[in-house]
Amino acid sequence: MKKRNAFTIIEVVLVLAIAGLIFLMVFIALPALQRSQRNTQRRQDLSRISSAIIEYASNNSGDLPFGSDEVGEYFDVDFVSKYLDSSCHSETEYLSNGLPAYSFSCSNDSFRDPNGNEYVIVDMDISESVVFDFIESNFNEIYVSDEARCSSNGFEYLGGSRSKYAIAMVLEGGAWYCLDN
């Protein structure tokens, strides 16, 4: 009888087990990698908005596109179309907590949350420090405030510092990302 070269059942099971472990590791790691990429995009979008705010202020005698003055709260609804994406137009709405929010409909995808939703800029006209732990936010909501800076867990109020601002958004996983000047 001639001996044939073939794999034993143990070798086949071992190869299948190793392939299964590799598949399982990829299956577990892929969502975390995708979440990380979406959060990176959100951070980049927030940096882009911060740069646009600085450019706006330099073109408007140091005034910010949002805040409050003697007349009341204001938001320059042309801010996004002039400084971020010319294909956008703004719509004013109010969140369930009563904060004014400015959503932006854009004809292209250059100013959208990585999940495909329109960004909404929420104007938090604060008069005291705010802790983010108590804010329920969607991933497409960007919180802005004048007279503020980022603290370890929210916005710190800086009364009388009209040229100071802070912007923040929640990332997937529940952490907040905040930028200020």
User: 101 is written with which tokens?
Assistant: 């929010």
DSSP string, 54-74: HHHHHHTTT--SEEE-SS-EE
pLDDT of residue 162: 75
Half-sphere exposure in the Cβ direction for 107 (13 Å, CA): 4
43, 51 in Cβ contact below 8 A? no
Minimum mean pLDDT range among 52-56, 104-108, 110-114, 126-130: 104-108
> Does residue 177 register a pLDDT over 70?
yes
The residue extents of the domains of the chain are 27-180
**H/E run at residue 80:** helix 79-83
- Residue 36: pLDDT band by 50, 70, 90 thresholds? very high
Residue 20 has a pLDDT of 93
Q: How far apart are CA 136 and CA 10, in angstroms?
A: 54
Kindly report the average pLDDT of the chain as a whole number. 85
Q: Given this model, what pLDDT does residue 72 score?
A: 65
